[in-house]
Amino acid sequence: MNDGISIEPVSTKRERNAFVDFAWHIYAADPAWVPPLKAEVHALIDPAKNPWFQHGRAALWVARRGGSIVGRISAQIDELVQEHMQRGLGQWGMFEALDEAAAAALIGQAEQWLRDGGMSAAMGPISLSIWDEPGLLIEGFEQPPMAMMGHHRPTYRAWIEAAGYTKAKDLVTYDLDIAKEQPELIKKMVAATERNPRVRIRNVDKSKFAHDSAIILNLLNDAWSDNWGFVPLTDAEIAYAGKKLKPVIFEDMVRIAELDGEPVGFMLTIPDVNELIRDLNGELFPFGFIKLLWRLRKPKVSRVRVPLMGVTKRLHGTRLGGQIAYTLIEYIRRACVENYGVRRGEFGWVLEDNQGMMSIAALPGAVINHRYRVYQKSL
């Protein structure tokens, strides 16, 4: 007990419903918040659906005061994090709280669970993995987040830092007017790629999407393998991600680059699904599912997002690698503008010290519109 607060584990269906629904209470008056699809949140925390649980384990809690929920949190231990990031590193996430006392009690509970699991350090918020919603929003509260990005209360930063956490890494997203043509230098790089008979840029094929999504995500594992925070996607996670992404994939928004017939790069762009689901209030049934399917036939959105892009590691730092990257960007930019009437794009997230990706993301006119911080603490 702390300030009248009790911390209760979440296990039953009713408790999971309350855990998920608490976000609607937290953000009821926040005009920038976009209600996520509840089915997606439930799938994230369900071991029977999310293949992350094949290599990780998690616990969920809610904080109550006077019978009412005043906060929630998860804690997780991922064997792939132990292997690829740091031995003894546990993580927590899905964090929401009404006040600092609830925040402190929840973080304390997560830390104790991690200690009991043999962890010597904690990192968060990460919900549940680096591939889901990493980091705490610390800049850009006034602009609604794009699909697959988080939104948080400004007060959380001080509460997390008061619990002894310091910055591990910042992740940023860039906003860009994509209706503008690219400068001459980039046009020349694209022309050089087009003249190269060894290079082919093709659309993704939705009729063979399982095959193409596996190509993309395997390229991702290769291209991002040296990045901070990298944890490889397993075959089961690649298949699961491909199935989840397919409804929001449009063939001319996703391209694969081949060199001598071998896939060497990709760029995945999705319409800002948050614009399409905002009025659904998280519910697909009874009519939300029909509305969403209709809207996805020919999405009318003002923004698109590039959540994933990469060039195979062997081309990092090479002129050809840069040419391929900018050609992918230019082809998809044209498709978004000409075929969907999109005006703005968001690129990211990007690690604040990933100079290669930062130079690509910081196209002329691009500005950082969101900054997310991942925190760490020794236990």
SS3 annotation, the chain: CECCEEEEECCCHHHHHHHHHHHHHHCCCCCCCCCCCHHHHHHHCCCCCCHHHHCEEEEEEEEEECCEEEEEEEEEEEHHHHHHCCCCEEEEEEEEECCHHHHHHHHHHHHHHHHHCCCCEEEECEECCCCCEECEEEECCCCCCCCCCCCCCCCHHHHHHHCCCEEEEEEEEEEEECCCCCCHHHHHHHHHHHHCCCEEEEECCHHHHHHHHHHHHHHHHHHCCCCCCCCCCCHHHHHHHHHHHHHHCCHHHEEEEEECCEEEEEEEEEECHHHHHHHHCCCCCCCHHHHHHHHHHCCCCCEEEEEEEEECHHHCCCHHHHHHHHHHHHHHHHHHHHHHCCCEEEEEEEECCCHHHHHHHCCCCCEEEEEEEEEEEEC
Superfamily of domain 179-342 in the CATH hierarchy: Gcn5-related N-acetyltransferase (GNAT) (3.40.630.30)
Measure the CA angle with vertex 151, ends 139 and 250; round to 5°: 105
Residue 1 pLDDT more than 60? no
Average pLDDT score, the chain: 91
Domain ranges of the chain: 5-167, 179-342
pLDDT for 121-152, tens place per residue? 999 999 999 999 999 999 999 999 988 899 99
179-342 matches 5-167 in CATH topology: yes
Residue-wise pLDDT for 315-369, tens only, equals: 998 999 999 999 999 999 999 999 988 999 998 898 998 877 777 666 777 889 9
| Domain 5-167 indexed as CATH 3.40.50.720 | no
pLDDT at 288 (0 to 100)? 60
pLDDT by residue (tens digit) across 180-232?
A: 888 888 889 999 999 999 999 999 998 998 899 999 989 999 998 889 999 99
**Predicted TM-score of the model (pTM):** 0.93
